[in-house]
Structure 1
Amino acid sequence: MATAPKTASLPLFYKDLIPLNTQEHANYSARSTNKAAWMVGAHAIPLTVEEFPMAQRHYPIVFSTGDDPVPLALMGMNEGVNVFVDDDGTVNTPIYVPAYVRRYPFLLAKLQADKPDLSLCFDPTSELIGEFEDGKPLFADGAPSASCQDTLKFCEHFEQAGARTGQFVAELKKHDLLMDGELNIESGQAGGQPFIYRGFRMVDENKLRDVRGDVLRGWNQSGLLPLIYAHLFSLELVREIFGRQVQLGKVAAPQLAQA
């Protein structure tokens, strides 16, 4: 059900990446938009832990499978379904939009694998960046404009939040709190088979109850414990997401849905 973004080539949403530079892109501008076409069909979108308090009000938060779990905003119960975004990219319901979405089409990336430095890059296939008469210029007098500097700061903050998210997940793994999840949703028809969703991970509440008191106290003081409960409380929204899929006619016959 919930798969991590594909990282074999490019991150989720990105079709290409090139570094932004003053020589080639001196006349480039960035447009704003009220549509997010890149979100169409994205059923699971990465989240950082600092987004949990807002995100848990709107959609379930789960974790991807694999050795390095990633927190995900679950916007659809099946791959290819995002119940919050219309086919033209219009967000049809007031929700918290993840920073991962708002960062596009920019991204901080390493240009050389053996060096830690990150450079501001962008997806050249995006219609939001180019030599436009409208939009906000990315450079002024050969230097990054205020708008470009704000974008860089946003991407830097996202990377920092990503590092904190990694520490959060590492703590969950250290105490073996993540388990394979399974969700059973009744079909609503008499005698009908339930819909069973797997392919994600979640915090094991039984193991959470057995965590030592001093560890829980430390988590409460550091703010980690409220984040765990934000994740657990958010799972109550699964049936709401499922109900939206039913209304959209995007629910197949009851079966096992697994990433």
Structure 2
Amino acid sequence: MREYYYLTGLKDSPYDLTMADALHLGACCTLNVYAFIEQVALMESRDTGTRVKQAGMYLRILGETLTTIEKGLSKGRQQEVFVRRAILDTRHKAPIGFGNPFAGERRESIAVDLYEDVPEYRFHLLHEVIPVPQIGPEDLLCLVDDLESLVNQGLIKRRADDTGTAASDQPAAEHQDYPPQLRALMVAWRTHWGNADPDDRTTCPKKSDVVDWLIERGFSAKNADAGATIIKPQWARDKGL
């Protein structure tokens, strides 16, 4: 099962969504859009001021940055832009491998600023300049779980010729017959519990986070509380999580 699609590859996905559409949804903060930062980057937590240097990570790109990319594409340009502010989502695990380089910060989302690191002796061979990372349209991707959430909200549709879904082994026609809140619960389980490790409590979601997620998708507070309980795995209940 696919975990994500690059925006440039959405034409081959089961979703009736173009790259331009996804980019616009990201610019409007309706769809989370990420980019892989391969080179070493200097990041600072906006909450604690802690600075770390990290390479090989996925960052959630802010709407303001995506808006700049969107404007460039609308004018026929595909220039790269600097990523000076972003969000580090720590709840995702392999194969995306977001990770959390900020020791002691256990939040699911960490707002970060990215800086250029210029050593005092810039010509010293042992101290290289670390630039602010740059990204272009080809670097952007979105998660299947987030796309499924938009389908459940009726904001996007699957392609008419799709014979299956990215979120289920059920045929598309049968899946479409599910009540919207049942589909939302399926996505909620994959989003919050799908990668949880029974031996690592830090990978398990807080019930309040699951409740908030469901409320954002149209559940009443009462139904969201019940839904968060329903989707909790038995092993998590046995452990008192």
What TM-score range do you get, normalising by the shorter chain? under 0.3
- When normalised by structure 1's length, the TM-score is 0.26
Identify which of structures 1 and 2 has the higher relative contact order when contacts are C-alpha pairs closer than 8 Å and 6+ apart: 1
In the superposition, the TM-score normalised over structure 2's length comes to 0.27
